[in-house]
Amino acid sequence: MSQLLREFYDTLLHSLRNLMPIVVVVAVFQFLVLQQVPDGLLSMIVGLAIVVLGVALFLQGLEMGIFPIGKSLADEFAAKGSVAWLMTFGFFIGFSAVIAEPALIAVAEQAEQISEGRVNPLILRLLVATSVGAVISVGVLRIILGLPLHWMMIGGYLTVVTVTFFAPEEIVGLAYDSGGVTTNIVTVPLIAALGLGLAASIRGRNPLIDGFGLVALAVMVPMITVQLYGMFVFAVDDVAAATGNGQALAIEEQVSAATPDSASGLLTDLAKMVRDVLPIIAVILVFQFVVIRKRMPHLPMVVFGFTLVIIGLYAFVVGLKLGLFPIGQRMAEQLMARDQLLWIYLFAFAIGFATTMAEPALIAVGDKAEQAAKGRIRSNAIRLVVALGVAVGITIGVHRIIAGDSIHAYIISGYAVVILLTFLAPRYIIALAYDLGGVTTSEVTVPLITALGIGLASNIEGRNVMIDGFGLIAFASIFPIVSVMLYAILADLLAARQTRQRGEAP
């Protein structure tokens, strides 16, 4: 028990350090740029404290519950030698994790309202969940057969770019955002644990090269299916005539409704969170007791771990709503009212960097990558590189909205760079780089980035929220892939140079 408490204390300090970039960004912009004391300062401080506690509980629960059960199931299926059962398990884990994803539900509902009923939210969610389940199943088969991921990703993103070229502009941003929201704070560690556990269980597989990649596939395929769906529901010449202001008002009402303002609201949020995790738990229980037909190892510890995950995630979200979301929204509005583009760009860069550094899923995956790489990769360095990629991506995405440029050119160009770097980057980093692009779009970044994009599109004359408001999540996914691959290329070049210098030294 004392060992567990010491581990939790260390995790708590780790969480506090991770949240400091957000605190610094908010403080600098609020007091030095806007020169105002924010309303509800005490609530913000309390919210930040709750976020720190929530992240610590969440990470502790991952280590006690989700990571062990993911590895245990992978070991059992690998021991059974049943490829069909492994693929079936992969499908149901992917489907169950996504179909009840709150961020996907919110995006689907917003899309229905903004598209004036053209986009059916249930069909959209079923398409995304089915495509994620199918591609996780294929990803499991890739690990079993030892197939290289880079060819799958190159072929997949060439398809994404081709479909984007023909897709109506009303659906492009939504499609990329739908891909981004499939990877949340619970499913990313579980899917990563499945891949890493499977790679560790099969002789000849490398956890770093073969174990990662499932998250990347879960992000990529929905982009294709949603754009294909959009080709059916949008005629090329039938552009929605609704104005941005009316659309933005509806979204703002939804955002306000999402913020709990009473004890009953808080309990409702907790009930929804339990509901969202239940499909995943049901799949695990069915496969553990019906298919494998064995008792779950260390069951009390696993149950306690899942409980900590739910409580930690709940505290984390409540803390965000109390502390960060209100101040973030007000600051964005105040910066836009100043009509100084430089500060908007700086805020976009800073908030992108800060939220990514505090992203719990990124912290968890970064730690697992460091373990799998056996010292070749440092978790803190990877998080820094990913955060810089997100910051640059969001800044470029904000510039697109302000300039009124088409998203097609930006997205196609971005993934063209990704495909080129995939050929140049060392093999050991590719799967991890693509996974990290999906990890960045989780509970911390998605709400703030979405609110920023919609807020800009609704306050700039001539912008359409359906076309311009969505899509920032896509930029937050593309550029971390670029930054991580560039980091690995430069690291290898420096290592080779140092080796040559040592060889030439007398």
CA distance 111 to 99: 16
What is the model's pTM? 0.72
CA distance 199 to 75: 9
CA distance 194 to 112: 34
CB 370 within 8 A of CB 379: yes
* Mean pLDDT (whole number) for 206-220: 85
Burial class (CB in 10 A: 0-12, 13-18, 19+), 23: middle
Please state whether 298 falls in left (phi above 0), alpha (psi between -120 and 50) or beta. left
Taking only the tens place, the pLDDT of each residue in 148-181 is 888 888 888 889 888 888 887 777 777 777 777 6
Q: CA torsion sign, 366 to 480 to 417 to 151?
A: positive
Q: What is the pLDDT of residue 466?
A: 64
CA distance 102 to 77: 30
Which DSSP symbol is given to 296? P
How many Cβ atoms sit within 10 Å of the Cβ of residue 291?
16
End-to-end CA separation in angstroms for the chain: 56
Taking only the tens place, the pLDDT of each residue in 287-319 is 878 877 777 777 788 888 888 878 887 787 777
Q: What is the pLDDT of residue 417?
A: 92
% of the chain beyond a pLDDT of 70 = 79
Grouping H, G, I as helix, E, B as strand and the rest as coil, residue 414 is helix
Which two structure tokens, joined as six digits, stand for 137?
């199943």
Of the listed ranges 81-90, 244-253, 415-424, 456-465, the one predicted with least confidence: 244-253
CB 488 within 8 A of CB 425: yes
CA distance 108 to 98: 12
CA distance 156 to 395: 26
Grouping H, G, I as helix, E, B as strand and the rest as coil, residue 256 is helix
Which two structure tokens, joined as six digits, stand for 151?
């060819």
Whole-number average pLDDT of the chain: 77
Confidence grade of residue 147 (pLDDT, cut at 50, 70, 90): confident
Taking only the tens place, the pLDDT of each residue in 415-473 is 889 989 998 998 888 888 988 887 776 555 666 677 677 777 777 777 776 667 767 87
Is the predicted pLDDT of residue 99 greater than 80, yes or no? no
Residues 6 or more apart whose CB falls under 8 angstroms from that of 311 comprise: 54, 57, 61
Most confident among 186-200, 214-228, 235-249 (mean pLDDT): 214-228
Of the listed ranges 1-10, 53-62, 104-113, 372-381, the one predicted with least confidence: 104-113
Residues 6 or more apart whose CB falls under 8 angstroms from that of 401 comprise: 453, 456, 457, 460, 463, 468, 469, 472
Which two structure tokens, joined as six digits, stand for 250?
């509806």
Every domain of the chain and the residues it spans: 2-235+271-504
